[in-house]
Structure 1
Amino acid sequence: MLEHGGRLQRAVQQYGIAREQWLDLSSGIAPWSFAIPDIPLCAWARLPEADDGLEQAAAAYYRVKQVLPVAGSQAAIQALPHLRARGTVGVLSPCYAEHAEGWRRAGHQVIELHGESVDDQLDRLDVLVVVNPNNPTGCRIDAERLLAWHARLAQHGGWLLVDEAFIDNTPAHSIGAQAERPGLIVLRSFGKFFGLAGVRLGFVLAETTLLQRLAELLGPWTVSGPTRTLGQACLLDRAAHQQQIARCAAASQQLSALLSNAGFPPRGGCDLFQYLVTDEAEQLHEFMAKRGILLRLFSQPASLRFGLPATEADFQRLAHAFNDYRKEPS
């Protein structure tokens, strides 16, 4: 199993700090969860049905004609590699590690690419995988460039797979509305923007034939009845969408300023996290963890991802920890 953020229980055991005393900034999930609707007993008691309104609500939210709900976009990340014959897959790196891992496990040759090398490699690729905005760097690629890459891949039957897990905060940059084009697949995550990662819900946007093939591979009832009820309510709550967008943007800007004032200006980020590249990443991660602040550590390159603090008290706690860090003897 690959390493991920949100491993709070492991930190509790490792550092001997009670769970309720932690400030968990290790995942890029909005710290404000949408309201949980009343879930009728039938959602728990009956098998889920696809005509309950979830697909229609998601299609309207993503501005497409059709979607496929899945048990978190992770389910699609693991299944999609099995819908193609073994080939050469380019993954724009660094990014969410499960993408490269999923294609490798399915027997494909995986090439990790960087921005400047994509155009040179496109004609030899069967699939190109892009996370946009990128996780963990926050780097965003313009829609025009992505669609140009797709057009070149489509000429020889290739796929462009775009993971838009962090794009809900800036929906104008999504290319999901173009996903009916053959060979273009867009993944959307529900849990991050809505602050409800535990429900395990995601959506695949693509042409009809591919969605049908993926649905057959995943099998029936992949999304639970309660999750379908909850997801539909959240997707339809337009006023809450705008509130979430605004407060995430404000918190992300405040976090960026805090890091800069502490002497660690972020290298990247988006409205759900900030990304810091520093040779002190491991030392800073350990220092914060001993004080009950959990960050996401990366080794290539040495870097840290900071999720959004939820309250002013959380911001102050992080600022005080940085002040203490600067006072530590080197």
Structure 2
Amino acid sequence: MRDHGGDLDRAMAQYGDGDWLDLSTGINARPYPFPDLSARAWTALPTAAEVAALVAAARAAYGAGQGVDCVPLAGAQAAIQLVPRLGVPQEARVVGPTYNEHAGALEAQGWRVTQVADIAELKGAPLGVVVNPNNPDGRFWTPEELIELARHVGLLVVDESFADPVPEYSMVRYLDRLPEGVRILVLRSFGKFYGLAGVRLGFALGAASLIAPMRRMAGPWAVSGPAITAGVKALADQAWQEATIGQLARDAVRMDALAEAAGWSLVGGTVLFRTYETGDAAAAQDHLAASRIWTRRFPYSDGWLRLGLPGPEADWARLEAALVPSLSRV
């Protein structure tokens, strides 16, 4: 089942309308300040020079070497949907549980998909997929581990949608010095860390032999003028990036303290989302939904509940009052 967070329509259909606080995604609730847009960004098709400027900004932000190709796409989701078309459908293995669109996109194109519990089980697969850090449990693997693994996989796809706060775990810096015969494709999301999911921007990075066909399949205008403008500015803003990583780290600690006070235990996560064992995820979600706070449950776990981190202080107070009422009265 290809279920996702961000499904406020379902929340409202089940619990009613209202002023909902959506914590069901891993999107930064303290977004990058959206830049002023020229009329041209809305009215003209993006030029090759504008796309090249976006690619240069992404390569610099992610630390891509000279031999690494990069294509901007309409979110990491667009890249996920192109991956199955890079080869003849056969066997694919996905480390899970994880973001279910990887398996869904592969199966839709005729691949035989098996979910495995750890990266060691990807060995021997024509195509292997690992989300690093993983969603929703936050597991991660070092670049060295993934390079060694890739020696035994036809193509290793590494989804780094939540890697911006932990650049030391990114594979991108290693892509131009992989051992001969090793094939690794890295997917990056822009909207999650920068809190601008609506602009629909992401990137695929790897050898030209992988990126060139993705670029052809994506077509000449894969990203919009507003996405280019936002991406070029935000990806170059190192001061904002560093400050945001620090803020998110503090917010994650704060969220864990609230969850502990509520009697939940940490399963894992990143600084963009936290996943907890609640004992009864349906009851926990119902309880928070009564206060119009939406969270993410998973069909494979009766206890796991994932929450994104609030942004404004008023949203933190609202969550605290719903989750641990005794604290809000102190």
Scaled by the length of structure 1, the TM-score of the pair is 0.92
Q: Which residue matches 2:230?
A: 230
Paired residues for 1:73-222 under 5 Å = 73-115=76-118, 118-123=119-124, 125-153=125-153, 158-180=154-176, 181=178, 182-222=182-222
| CA pair 300-281 structure 1, distance change in 2 beyond 3 A | same
The answer on whether the counterparts of 2:258 and 2:323 sit within 8 Å (CA) in structure 1 is no
Q: Which stretch shifts more, 250-259 or 38-47?
A: 38-47
Q: In the alignment, is residue 47 of structure 1 matched against residue 45 of structure 2?
A: yes
State, as a whole percentage, how many aligned pairs show the same letter: 40
CA RMSD of aligned residues (A): 1.7
Alpha carbons 2:258, 2:324 under 8 Å: kept: no
Alpha-carbon deviation of 1:109?
A: 0.9
State the secondary structure of the residue aligned to 2:319.
Answer: helix
Shift, 1:176, TM fit: 1.2
Q: Which residue of 1 aligns with 2:243?
A: 243
1:245-324 alignment, distance < 5 Å: 245-302=245-302, 303-323=304-324
Q: Which amino acid aligns with 2:78?
A: A
Deviation at 1:67, TM superposition (A): 1.3
SS in 2 for 1:67: strand
* Alpha-carbon distance in structure 2 between the residues aligned to 1:120 and 1:57: 35
Note the residue ranges of structure 2 that are not aligned, 5 or more in a row. Answer: none
Distance in 1 of aligned mates of 2:121 and 2:283: 38
Cα distance in 1 between the residues matched to 2:312 and 2:40: 37
Distance 1:206 1:109 in 2: 24
Partner of 1:266, secondary structure, is strand
Worse overlay, 197-206 or 49-58: 49-58
Does the aligned pair in 2 maintain the 1:6–1:27 contact within 8 Å?
Answer: yes
Aligned pair count? 317
Q: Matches of 1:203 and 1:138 in 2, distance apart?
A: 21
User: Conserved in 2, the CA contact under 8 Å of 1:68 and 1:204?
Assistant: yes
The one-letter code sitting in structure 1 at the alignment partner of 2:315 is: D
Pick the aligned partner of 1:34 from 24, 32, 35: 32
1: CA distance, partners of 2:73 / 2:122: 31
Q: 1:232 to 1:120 in 2, by over 3 A?
A: closer
Tell me how far apart the structure 1 counterparts of residues 195 and 121 of structure 2 sit (CA, whole Å). 38
1:148-168 CA-to-partner distances (Å, cap 9, x unmatched) read 111222xxxx00000000010
Residue 287 of structure 1 deviates from its aligned partner by 1.4
Q: Alpha-carbon deviations, 1:147-198, whole Å to 9, x = none?
A: 1111222xxxx00000000010111111112234451000000000000000
Q: 1:68 to 1:121 in 2, by over 3 A?
A: closer
Contact 1:73–1:189, Cα closer than 8 Å, also in 2 = yes
TM-score, normalised by the number of residues in structure 2: 0.92
**Counterpart residue type for residue 235 of structure 1:** L
How big is each residue's C-alpha offset from its partner over 1:242-271, in whole Å with a ceiling of 9 and x where there is no partner?
111111111011101110121102111111
Q: Gaps (5+ residues) in structure 1?
A: 326-330
For the Cα contact (< 8 Å) 1:277–1:301, is it kept in 2?
no
**Cα deviation, residue 140, structure 1:** 1.2
C-alpha distance in 1, partners of 2:98/2:133?
10
Q: Is the 8 A contact 1:90 1:128 kept in 2?
A: yes
SS at match of 2:149: helix
What residue is the counterpart of 1:25 in the other structure?
23
1:45 and 1:324 map into 2 onto residues whose CA distance is 50
1:324 to partner: Cα distance: 5.3
Tell me the secondary structure at the aligned position of residue 324 of structure 2.
Answer: helix
Q: Distance in 2 between matches of 1:57 and 1:282?
A: 43
